[in-house]
């Protein structure tokens, strides 16, 4: 699908990747960024797809997915508050905050029941959105769905308070900000980003070009510190297992076998109990945490085929 004159484009190895028509949207006084790509085909499905990135990600992390998915569907991608080109606001970052942002974005911009596709943190937001706001959701696709409660539940009860106190100490801005300022430079960030890929050399464009620039935005260090301090809180994320158990919409749960950032013990359906019949599991071999960026053709086809078979047939 060719880029239009209004699309944001990135060039790489002789190919042009379209990021859609990027726009700013003021949410609760904060500037946020989203993009949209409309299909050209007259027989395209009217079901929208909404893409929600993971930790440190942005609209650009869907660079290899936006075009192929938009051949058959209207596609929206949103920079969650604190990430990408959205404002690095002095907010208390947690899943509930991003769920409210996502739902109000849907109310304002999308306005039709959609398939929500999330990666990592974006997967958490998609599941909770589907649980709370069923009118917004026709289906969900989670690409690496972590369970924030699992690590906490595995700790002996007597050690939880101590571990949390230590975590909050090391999440102090006095310690974290210098580390953040040091590591955000591309040459230092690259080894950490590569850890999120099974084989980063297979990705056409250097992923660091997506992750590094937002880290230089005003307020980025403060947002990182706030997120680090809140990530271990009991209310950082609602109970994902319970939300999945209540889910009526169809869901596709995608994991990659070589994910090192969220190991199999922390990112497999066993932790959620027996999967309901409306949930389907897809495990992808030879892919890391960012499998949608590493093996986009396989992931795009899987999403489109699943939507056609389980969502658009309804």
Q: Is the pLDDT of residue 266 over 80?
A: no
Q: Which has the minimum average pLDDT: 10-24, 29-43, 187-201, 203-217?
A: 10-24
Q: Are 223 and 173 in contact (CB under 8 A)?
A: no
**Angle at CA of residue 27, ends 24 and 30, nearest 5°:** 80
- The mean pLDDT value for 288-301 works out to 95
Mean pLDDT: which of 26-35, 151-160, 256-265 is highest? 26-35
Q: What is the mean pLDDT of the chain?
A: 86
What six digits make up the tokens of 133? 């706001």
For 161-171, write each residue's pLDDT tens digit: 434 444 454 45
pTM of the model: 0.89
Q: Is the pLDDT of residue 129 over 80?
A: yes
pLDDT value for 122: 98
Sign of CA dihedral 96, 260, 183, 25: negative
For 133-155, write each residue's pLDDT tens digit: 999 999 999 999 988 765 555 44
- The mean pLDDT value for 256-276 works out to 70
Q: Is the pLDDT of residue 269 over 60?
A: no
pLDDT bracket for residue 156 (50, 70, 90): very low
Q: Which has the minimum average pLDDT: 35-39, 220-224, 227-231?
A: 227-231
Q: Is the pLDDT of residue 16 over 60?
A: no
Q: Which has the minimum average pLDDT: 6-10, 94-98, 138-142, 248-252?
A: 6-10
- The mean pLDDT value for 282-306 works out to 94
For 73-118, write each residue's pLDDT tens digit: 999 999 999 999 999 999 999 999 999 999 999 999 999 999 999 9
Q: For the residues of 146-168, what is the DSSP string, one character each?
A: --HHHHHHHS-HHHHHHHHHHHH
pLDDT value for 28: 96
Domains (range + CATH), the chain:
9-310 (3.40.50.1820)
Q: Are 241 and 181 in contact (CB under 8 A)?
A: no
For the packed helices 173-183 and 186-194, what is the interaxial angle rounded to 10 degrees?
Answer: 100
Sign of CA dihedral 195, 200, 203, 204: positive
Q: Residue 122's closest CA among 145, 152, 91, 106? A: 145
pLDDT value for 164: 46
């Amino acid at each position: 699908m060719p880029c239009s004159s209004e699309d944001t484009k990135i060039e790489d190895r002789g190919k042009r990747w379209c990021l859609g028509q990027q726009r700013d949207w003021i949410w609760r006084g904060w500037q946020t960024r989203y993009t949209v790509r409309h299909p050209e085909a007259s027989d395209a499905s009217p079901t929208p797809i909404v893409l929600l990135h993971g930790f440190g990600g942005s609209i650009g992390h869907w660079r290899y997915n936006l075009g192929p998915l938009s051949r058959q569907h209207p596609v929206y991608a949103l920079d969650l508050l604190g990430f990408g080109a959205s404002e690095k606001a002095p907010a208390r970052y947690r899943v509930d905050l991003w769920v409210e942002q996502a739902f109000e974005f849907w109310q304002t911009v999308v306005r039709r029941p959609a398939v929500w596709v999330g990666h990592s943190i974006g997967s958490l937001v998609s599941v909770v959105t589907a649980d709370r706001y069923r009118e917004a959701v026709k289906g969900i696709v989670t690409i690496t769905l972590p369970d924030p409660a699992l690590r906490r539940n595995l700790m002996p009860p007597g050690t939880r308070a101590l571990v949390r106190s230590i975590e909050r100490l090391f999440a102090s801005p006095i310690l974290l900000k210098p580390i953040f300022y040091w590591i955000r430079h591309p040459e230092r960030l690259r080894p950490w980003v590569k850890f999120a890929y099974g084989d980063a050399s297979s990705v056409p464009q250097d992923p660091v070009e997506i992750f590094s620039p937002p880290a230089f935005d005003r307020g980025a260090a403060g947002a990182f510190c706030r997120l680090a301090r809140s990530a271990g809180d009991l209310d950082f994320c609602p109970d994902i297992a319970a939300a999945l158990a209540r889910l009526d919409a169809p869901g596709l749960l995608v994991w990659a076998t070589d994910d090192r950032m969220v190991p199999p013990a922390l990112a497999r359906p066993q932790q959620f109990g027996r999967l309901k019949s409306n949930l389907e599991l897809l495990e992808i071999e030879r892919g890391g945490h960012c499998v949608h960026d590493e093996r986009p053709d396989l992931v795009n086809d899987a999403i489109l085929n699943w939507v056609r078979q389980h969502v658009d047939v309804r």
